Chains A and B, each alone.
Chain A
Amino acid sequence: MMLRENPSLKENISKERIAAPLLMAGKAARRKYDMSKCIITVPSMTFAQKARNALTANQIPSTVTRLTPEQAEKGCGWGVEIDCRHLEHSLHVLNTSNIPTRRVRRREGP
């Protein structure tokens, strides 16, 4: 009860209310950012590591990613996650490095 009467807390609550739409906008922005991530799926962990190294050598940041069963075609699988802006360049690098690729998936959700 004491806390409710605290004017500073009231202020906070009201600020929170005001800030809520902004926070929502931030989440949407983050989601939008996440949506710009692409996963290039490859046949194995070894090829995912080889792909990461080839991309790094070409100044394309990437991370090795374990696919979910829904993302993978046969249960589990591996891929490299990149910024979708680098997709075309990345596929070219992997192709010239003789790294087999399966599919390109957009990252779903945060």
Chain B
Amino acid sequence: MSLVYLDNAATSYPKPPEVRLAILDAMLEKGGNPGRSSHKMARAAADAVFDGRETIASFFGGQAENLVFTQNATHALNFAIKGLIPPNAHVLLSDIEHNAVLRPIVSLGERGVTYDFYRSLGRHERDSDSVLSSIKQKLTPHTAAVIACHRSNVLPIELPLEAIGDFCEKHKLLFLVDASQSAGSTPIDIEACRISALCAPGHKGLLGPRGSGFVLFGKSLGETLPRPLIEGGSGSDSTSLFMPDLLPERLEAGTLPVEAIAGLAAGVKYIRRYGIDTIAYRERTLTTLLKRHLASVPGVRLYLPERQIGSTVLFNLNGRSPWEVASFLDQQDICLRAGLHCAPLAHRLSGTTASGALRASVGCFTTEDDIRALVLAIKKMACSA
């Protein structure tokens, strides 16, 4: 039996062959240090980095020089949150935020930053009015930023970026977006959504390798420059004691991971060629199929099954702990994730904080056979209960 991988919300697998080749090519042919030396190998590495910047920035409607490479979305969110939110500010974040947002915000409490949550769950799937009304209710004269988890990593909830972006522009608020689960699965235009900072991992929907991610700053940031969290060599202005006052070098201290960047760029090119709408349609169809089949298994409890957003399915099997089920599935060569998924807020919404839950997440390369294999294994376990 071949491996069934349904943990794409954690990291996507497999990667397209083009991604693997790009990584190998970067390692073999572009072995210099980008932006430091000026010999052939260093120039080739620098060109690979710039190609990555242009490819990814244009994919999200942004500018290459406003794209800062990071190791993952968590680093990107830390750069955006700690680099942009001023001391003593008030911040609004959604009630589905991942710990990658929640923990940095809580840590800013040391600098007098306070926060409050707005409601993400409307009466229907794309209920922007109820989200905006919740934001308005929580707005204070000290509110400086709104943070939105574009798509939950646990529940089928997606926040209306355009509506929130318009609101932020009107109220002169920073708008920070965590696109960890949506980048590569749904189109995002940083300028149309008035996003100040768009943060995403490279290794999930964008099909790049682990160790890749970015924060893309939008025009709405204006003259504001993010404060660097890490200082060091930048390849320019070496006699200055401070980081350069221009992006992206301001936030990119140290040697960049050229292999990861080349792989990420290849992933984005793959999505462009294949078509993001085609990928979204495929993921949605398979997710719906999975929900329908799981719902027919006695003892399976699905959370928010009526919603058709995203590519994750949260469920539990009566009388079994999610860890027990995940362990059983692992023995059947089926990979998915049990627990709280680093998202205690979303689990509070689904009422699964104490028990945890199982998350199956569909990806670009998931097949109907994968779905059937999971459902069959769950049926087997349900029958043996």
Which positions in A face B, CB cutoff 8 Å?
43-47, 49-50, 53, 64-66, 69, 72-78, 100
Contact = CB atoms under 8 A, between A and B. Distances in A.
A44 B50 contact: no
Nearest first, the 3 A-B pairs at minimum CB distance are A75-B238, A75-B239, A66-B38
Nearest to A63: B43
Nearest to A66: B38
B239 A65 contact: no
Interface in B24-70: 34-35, 37-38, 43, 46-47, 50, 53-54, 64-65
A86 to B, nearest CB: 21
Contacts of B64: 46, 50
Q: Which of A45, A64, A65, A74 has its CB near the most chain B CB atoms (within 10 A)?
A: A45
Interface of B: 34-35, 37-38, 43, 46-47, 50, 53-54, 64-65, 234-240, 244, 246, 248-249
Contact of B46 (A43, A49, A74): A49
A71 to B, nearest CB: 12
A77 B65 contact: no
Contact of B237 (A47, A49, A74, A100): A74
Nearest to A64: B43
A49 B47 contact: yes
A43 B238 contact: no
* SS class, residues of chain A in contact with chain B: mixed
A76 B235 contact: yes
B246 A43 contact: yes
A77 B65 CA distance: 16
B249 A76 contact: no
Nearest to B50: A49
A75 B64 CA distance: 25
A47 B246 CA distance: 10
Given A64-B43, A100-B246, A46 B237 contact: no
A44 B248 CA distance: 9
Contact of A65 (B38, B47, B53): B38
A40 B50 CA distance: 19
Nearest to A100: B246
Nearest to A76: B238
A31 B53 CA distance: 37
A44 B236 contact: yes
18 contacts: A43-B244, A44-B234, A44-B235, A44-B236, A45-B35, A45-B46, A46-B35, A46-B50, A46-B249, A47-B65, A49-B46, A49-B47, A49-B50, A66-B38, A74-B236, A74-B238, A74-B240, A77-B236
A50 B247 CA distance: 13
A1 to B, nearest CB: 45
Contacts of B47: 49
A45 B236 CA distance: 8
Nearest to A44: B249
Nearest to A99: B65
Contacts of B65: 44, 46-47, 50
Contacts of B234: 44
A73 B238 CA distance: 10
